[in-house]
Structure 1
Amino acid sequence: MSPADRFAVFPELHITVEPLPGQALRVRAAGEVTVENVAQLRSVLFRAIDDVRARAVEVDFELVTFIDSTAIGKLVSARAHAIGSGSDLWIVNPSPGVRRVLSLLGLLETLSTPTGTRGWAPPKSA
């Protein structure tokens, strides 16, 4: 085994959270969202829903360069959890790569459209 084989390089994922009007949050992700790091994003999303009790969570993927199937599964799960908790969660500003993958899977419209969270509307400028 060479010294280079002793270390694994994991894709970087940077996440920031900012408040929006009406008890909503925007979660911005930058980098790659993969099986190696999707737990970070899932944790932030579930915390926003369960602990912060955000009425809506926008997941901004403008700076996401890659997304794998595990990450998409976690997003679908987080969306279902949000709706089941009386909240909502959707993707905004998907990068071209994310848009393409979601479109190929038939999930682009589903994951990028609010379900109509009561008393909250997405900001006009995103």
Structure 2
Amino acid sequence: MTVDERTVRVDLGGELDALNTGAFMTAFHQVLATSDAALIEFDVNRLTFLDSAGVQALIECQTAACARGRRLALRDPMPIVHQVLTITGLLDDLGLR
């Protein structure tokens, strides 16, 4: 994770699925609580798998960020993650960069 005044960048790798979304959400809420950055950016270029629980977690992150007046963006998704977000119709909603 890297932080500057305007952006928090969180590197995600491996799988975001039902087995690890709880830990992911806990970490995300820590970021929200400890940073005032306007943009929270998930660098997903090493995320190799995203299931429905992972998609739900990203939606919850987006909702929580917006509720605090912040933006969420995804950066550089792997083709499989890009495909999942396209199929679910979330590619634009999650602020692809």
Instruction: State TM-score, norm by structure 2.
Output: 0.90
Instruction: Give the ranges of 4+ consecutive aligned residues of structure 1 lying more than 3 Å apart after TM superposition.
Output: none
Residue 18 of structure 1 corresponds to which residue in structure 2? 2
Q: Which has the larger radius of gyration?
A: 1
| Alignment check: 8 A CA contact 1:64 1:98 kept | yes
The runs of 5 or more residues in structure 2 that have no matched partner are none
- State the AA in 2 paired with 1:95: M
SS of the residue corresponding to residue 10 of structure 2 reads strand
Give the corresponding residue for 1:96: 79
Is 2:68 the partner of 1:85? yes
Structure 1 position 112, deviation (Å): 2.4
Q: Determine if contact 1:48/1:54 at 8 Å carries over to the other structure.
A: no
Q: Distance in 2 between matches of 1:85 and 1:50?
A: 10
Work out which of the residue numbers 35, 42, 53 in structure 2 matches 1:70: 53
| Unpaired stretches in structure 1, ≥5 consecutive residues | 1-16, 115-126
2:42 maps to 59
After TM superposition, give the deviation of residue 113 of structure 1 in Å: 4.4
Q: CA RMSD in A?
A: 1.5
Higher relative contact order (CA 8 A, sep 6+): 2
CA distance in 2 between counterparts of 1:56 and 1:112 reads: 10
The alignment status of 1:109 with 2:78, answered yes or no, reads no
What is aligned with 2:28?
Answer: 45
Distance 2:70 2:32 in 1: 7
Q: What is the TM-score when the length of structure 1 is the normalising length?
A: 0.71
> Percent identical across equivalent pairs?
26
Amino acid at match of 2:43: D
